[in-house]
Structure 1
Amino acid sequence: MSDVTPGLGYNPEDLADIPGTTIFTTASSRRAYHLHRFCHSLGKADAREAFKADEEGYLSNYTMTEEQRVAILARDYNQLIQLGSNFYFLMKLASTDGWSAQRAVSTMSGMSTEDYAAMMIAGGRSPEGNRSIKGKY
């Protein structure tokens, strides 16, 4: 690893080394604070019912960016990750829709749930093109 950035404990440049990988950082967590508060609220049955009854109205209770709101309404998990969220919070949204983790992740991979499951049973995605650019990992 390169020299660390004071206060972070790591060099941010090292986080961009694996193609297609978004690293959840303190900065991304801060960007997604209100998004995570929304997701966390879905841990309560009455909140899930209120959200399902009026998604846009329920989202108005949270100070999220317009991009975050649009991505939630579209269930665009890849975009939500790019906007700072992490998958563990997003699973509350997926669960509210009755989705399994497998189904949510399959939407992120562009595969059907069945194709995604078959790929994982066969050993997962190929490491080709998914390794460290600098060859360290």
Structure 2
Amino acid sequence: MTDARVNIHEYLAEFDDIPGTRVFTAARARKGYWINQFAMSLMKAENRERFKADERAYLDEWTISDEAKAAILARDYNRLLDLGGNVYFLSKLFSTDGLPFAEAVSTMTDMTWPEYRQMMLDGGRSPEGNRSIKGKY
């Protein structure tokens, strides 16, 4: 009889082997709590106005690391995902900047917005060659 129990840490570590993907796990949620709370604050018009008037001052009101603040100011979305940001919460930042979701997401790839748009219109990224970092894709 095989033991069906799975080591949850080993299981979750497998997600890190998916090229170009950051799976939003409970650990990432805990890590990025304040990044995501900040992003959700941008749902209110008065907060968007305050943020746009002085981004750094608004960020300094939050319990966010300097590294995360720098990533927000630089709009380094991949870094924010690494720090626990959730793309759906970060969409409030995209929207505050006037960026459509797909255009903002294109900045997280090695493609320009027109290239990304065309790739998606053509059916998305091929799974061929995109299966494993350890296996060199």
Band of TM-score, shorter chain = 0.7 to 0.9
Q: RMSD across aligned C-alpha pairs, in angstroms?
A: 2.1
Shift of 1:99: 0.4
> Residue deviations 1:60-104, cap 9 Å, x none?
110111110000000011110011111001100000000001110
Gaps of 5+ in 2: none
Q: What residue number does 1:93 align with?
A: 93
- Give TM-score, length-normalised by structure 2: 0.87
Change (3 A) 1:121 1:66: same
Change (3 A) 1:23 1:2: farther
Residues 2 and 14 in structure 1, CA contact (< 8 A), matched pair in contact too: no
User: What are the ranges of 5 or more consecutive residues in structure 1 without an aligned counterpart?
Assistant: none
CA drift of 1:115 comes to 1.4
Q: Which residue of 1 aligns with 2:111?
A: 111
For the 8 Å contact 1:91–1:101, the answer to whether it is kept is yes
Identity level (%): 52
Q: Which residue number corresponds to residue 69 of structure 1?
A: 69
After TM superposition, what 4+ stretches of structure 1 lie above 4 angstroms from structure 2?
Answer: 132-135
SS in 2 for 1:11: helix
Give aligned pairs, total: 132
Query: Quick one: which amino acid aligns to residue 75 of structure 1?
Result: R
Q: Which residue of the partner structure matches residue 41 of structure 2?
A: 41
Q: CA deviation at 1:122?
A: 1.0
